[in-house]
Structure formats: C-alpha cells, structure tokens
C-alpha cells in the first residue's frame, strides 16, 4: 500500500512536471505571437502616421502656394494701380509745365 502511494505520488509529480512544461511552452508561444502582433501593429501605426504627415505636408504646401499666388496677384494689382497713378501724374505734370510755358 505504501509502495502504491509512492508510485501514485511519483506519477502525479510526473504529470505535474508535464503540465508545467506544457504551460511554459504555451507561454513562450503566446509571448512570441504577442511580440509579432505588437511589431505588426507598431508598423501599421507608423505607416499611418507617415501617410498622415505626408498628407498634412502636402496640404500645407498647397495652402502656402495658394497664399503666395494670391499675394502675387494682389501685388500685381497694386503695381498696376501705382503705375496708372504715376502715368496720370506724369501727364498732369506735363500739362502743368506746358500750360505755364505758354
């Protein structure tokens, strides 16, 4: 009877050792899978962040170009106005000189 109990204890210990080995192996397997999933998720997040940054950069460039073009048009109009004003004043000055000369 004692021998039977000892045999059962040893068998139970073997089973416990096997359960522990299996649990450790499963734990390693799960850890490896989690690391792979984390790496994939990290790359996906980085890819989306890069795409978003590129889109924001492109939009900022487009807005800057629009602002530059708008300012260039405004300056061209101002130059045209100043040129027209200068031509009118030049004409007035010529007329004034001619009228005083006569």
| Model confidence pLDDT, tens digit, residues 10-50 | 999 999 999 999 999 999 999 999 999 999 999 999 999 99
Structural element, H or E, at residue 10: helix 2-101
Q: What is the mean pLDDT of the chain?
A: 94
Q: What is the mean pLDDT of residues 54-71?
A: 98
Q: Is 87 domain-assigned? A: no
Domain that includes residue 45, residue range: 1-73
Structure pTM? Answer: 0.57
Query: 102: which DSSP letter?
Result: -
Q: Which two tokens stand for residue 18?
A: 């096997």
Domain annotation covers residue 43: yes
Alpha carbons within 13 angstroms on the beta-carbon side of residue 10 total 6
Q: How many domains does the chain have?
A: 1
13 found inside a domain: yes
């Amino acid at each position: 009877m004692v021998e039977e109990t000892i045999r059962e204890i040893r068998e139970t210990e073997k089973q416990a050792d096997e359960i522990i080995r299996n649990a450790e192996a499963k734990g390693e397997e799960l850890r490896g899978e989690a690391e792979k999933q984390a790496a994939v998720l990290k790359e996906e997040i980085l890819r989306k962040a890069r795409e978003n940054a590129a889109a924001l950069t492109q939009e900022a460039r487009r807005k800057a170009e629009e602002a530059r073009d708008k300012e260039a048009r405004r300056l061209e109009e101002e130059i045209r106005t100043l040129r027209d004003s200068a031509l009118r004043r030049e004409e007035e000055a010529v007329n004034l000189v001619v009228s005083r000369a006569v």
